[in-house]
Amino acid sequence: MGFSGGTEERDYKEDIRIDVNNLEGEWIEQPSLMLHYSSLYAEAIHSRDLKKVKVDQEYARIDSEIRKDWQKHFDSKPTEVAIKNYITLHPIYRKAEKLLINATREVNLLSGIKSSFDHRKRALENIVSLHITGFHSEPINKKRKVSSEGHKQQTSMLRKGRRATSQKTND
């Protein structure tokens, strides 16, 4: 699903991807992407809030219409519950409510997308840190292997020494 912010349509699933071979470009693009989806999120909230107002207005309009001429809608004087039920089943109210539900869904989706771009930023930071520390560098050289072997020998000798010391103590 793409979202359009102004004239440009974007695909968030594509925008969230990271090209590890172009980290500089990814870092340059990150603020623009974050701004784009934050703007869409703000617009979605605004749209949802306007739809909420429309739902409330339709409810009030239908309520007022019923109370002015209740005989047109009911056989006997309606209770408050009957009026509320009538309003919530009214086609105009239901249409406004459906638009609100769809707008709320879009807000929720954009909230998740915005959160994904925060995760993308952290992923970019971690990938760069891995590159700086040489995580993707060449295999361990012979010197490090020797020192690793030396470390194993020292650990083994220390263990043997501890066993010998503990045996003398126990005797």
Q: Residue 1: pLDDT above 50?
A: no
- In this structure, the answer to whether residues 133 and 145 fall within a common structural domain is no
What is the tally of structural domains in the chain?
2
- In this structure, the answer to whether residues 89 and 152 fall within a common structural domain is no
pLDDT per residue over 11-25, tens digit each? 899 999 999 889 899
Question: Distance of CA 24 to CAs 20, 93, 125, Å?
Answer: 9, 51, 11
Query: How high is the mean pLDDT of the chain?
Result: 83
Other Cβ atoms closer than 10 A to 44: 20
- In this structure, the answer to whether residues 39 and 109 fall within a common structural domain is yes
CB 123 within 8 A of CB 16: no
pLDDT per residue over 147-171, tens digit each? 556 556 655 655 665 555 455 555 5
Can you give the residue range of the structural domain that contains 81? Answer: 2-137
Please, which contacts does 136-141 make with residues 24 or more away whose CB atoms are closer than 8 Å? Answer: none
pTM value is 0.68
Average pLDDT score over residue span 42-58: 98
